[in-house]
Amino acid sequence: MKRRRSVTYAGNNGRGRIKIAPNAHPLVRLFFAAMNEQHTTFAELAGRTHVGIDTMRFWQRRHMPRLDLFEAALNALDLELCIRRRKNPRILNTRARVLAPHAGIRDQPDHRTSVSKNGLSPDA
């Protein structure tokens, strides 16, 4: 009796023709766009990263990727995740203000919401 393979998908997708789900997370969409651009198959990427073929396929429509697996897959495509400040900072909520000093983030006033003595914003 032959044993069936546990992987149901061979990973031999058409190079550069991976469908990108419009409702997927934006980072996942960029990941699949990079795979298409580099003409990489799921099988090749799985071999380089030890991330399962089905795991990566499920990122398209079923599951959000775990950060460690997603970062490994990005690194195999010569990409990386980056944390940086937003261009338009938002007002931090109370919990974030408490945690910010411990994370090395300086609290900067938000000039958009400040009111001067005459009741007008400083930009007016």
If we measure between CA atoms, which residue out of 45, 37, 2, 43 comes closest to residue 20? 37
Q: Are 123 and 111 in contact (CB under 8 A)?
A: yes
Domain match, 10 and 47 both: yes
The residue type of 56 is M
Cut 0.85: pTM above it:
no
Domain match, 75 and 100 both: no
How many domains does the chain fold into? 2
Domain match, 66 and 105 both: no
Domain match, 27 and 12 both: yes
Q: What is the pLDDT of residue 14?
A: 67
Whether the pLDDT of residue 98 is over 90: the answer is no
Q: Which range of residues forms the domain containing residue 115?
A: 88-124
Taking only the tens place, the pLDDT of each residue in 46-69 is 999 999 988 998 888 888 899 999
Q: Distance between CA atoms of 19 and 13, rounded to whole angstroms?
A: 10
| Whole-Å CA distances, 77 to 34, 74, 105, 109, 114 | 7, 5, 31, 39, 45
Domain match, 38 and 53 both: yes
Domain match, 67 and 92 both: no
Domain match, 60 and 106 both: no
